[in-house]
């Protein structure tokens, strides 16, 4: 007998297998982006809400997955994948999502199943728009490790004290400032005084 938890875990694995978030899978399948969000998996009264047959079928078509392959994901015995907090990059500049050190806090985060990161403070950001092409396209999910050392040439996420959040490449860091190279050649590079920077964290993985 299939359980509610098994079906949702299989959809999470299907998304991770396609290097997508739950919302990214829904969008690729032509569904409302919130269809597979964690908040939609139970009713306001606390009863389990199952994904519709139509939404599952569209997800299989969108990821070129057969029904047999999906069943294998339902019965996957490799152990649970780790849930990493996920939020859209455009929302990340709003208050309440990070502490002063750049660690994820508060409510409003979605989740993505991701088995390949060890940092317990790691989180994921979903790119929207084309401002970071060709490096990161709309729907790309990047995983950020706030505890990882940052070196020249690393791709990083920076949050300023004014609330701006950006993904750039670290060109140079001195005792007083950081120089950032834009990932999109149409956008100018940035130089920030260190007192303007709230935190900087390294990008450790990006979906393709």
Domain boundaries, the chain: 4-74, 84-206
Helix, strand, or coil (residue 144): strand
Q: pTM (2 decimals)?
A: 0.62
Residue of higher predicted confidence among 16 and 116: 16
Bridge partners of 160? Answer: 197
For residue range 81-106, list pLDDT tens digits in order.
Answer: 567 888 888 888 887 889 888 888 88
83-88 and 123-126 as β-strands: parallel, antiparallel, unpaired? parallel
Alpha carbons 201 and 144: distance in angstroms, whole number? 7
For residue range 39-59, list pLDDT tens digits in order.
Answer: 889 888 888 999 999 999 999
Residue 204 reports pLDDT greater than 90: no
Burial of 181 from C-beta contacts in 10 A (0-12 / 13-18 / 19+): middle
CATH number of 84-206: 2.10.109.10
Specify the pLDDT at position 111: 80
DSSP state at residue 41: S
Secondary element (H or E) of residue 69: helix 67-74
Q: Is the domain defined by 4-74 classed in CATH 1.10.10?
A: no
Helix, strand, or coil (residue 75): coil
Token look-up 């999906």 returns 70
């Amino acid at each position: 007998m299939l359980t509610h938890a098994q079906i949702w875990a299989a959809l999470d694995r299907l998304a991770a297998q396609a290097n997508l978030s739950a919302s990214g899978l829904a969008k690729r399948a032509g569904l409302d982006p919130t269809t597979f969000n964690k908040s939609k998996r139970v009713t306001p009264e606390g009863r389990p809400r199952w994904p519709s047959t139509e939404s599952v079928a569209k997800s299989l078509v969108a990821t070129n997955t057969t029904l047999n392959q999906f069943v294998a994901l339902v019965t996957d015995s490799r152990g649970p994948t780790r849930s990493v907090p996920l939020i859209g990059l455009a929302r990340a500049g709003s208050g309440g999502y990070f502490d002063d050190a750049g660690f994820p806090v508060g409510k409003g985060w979605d989740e993505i199943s991701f088995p390949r990161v060890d940092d317990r403070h790691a989180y994921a950001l979903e790119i929207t728009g084309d401002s970071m092409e060709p490096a990161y396209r709309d729907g790309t999910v990047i995983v950020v490790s706030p505890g990882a050392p940052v070196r020249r040439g690393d791709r990083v996420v920076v949050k300023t004290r004014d609330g701006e959040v950006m993904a750039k490449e670290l060109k140079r860091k001195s005792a007083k400032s950081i120089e950032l190279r834009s990932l999109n050649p149409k956008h100018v590079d940035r130089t920030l005084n260190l007192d303007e920077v709230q935190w900087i964290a390294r990008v450790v993985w990006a979906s393709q």
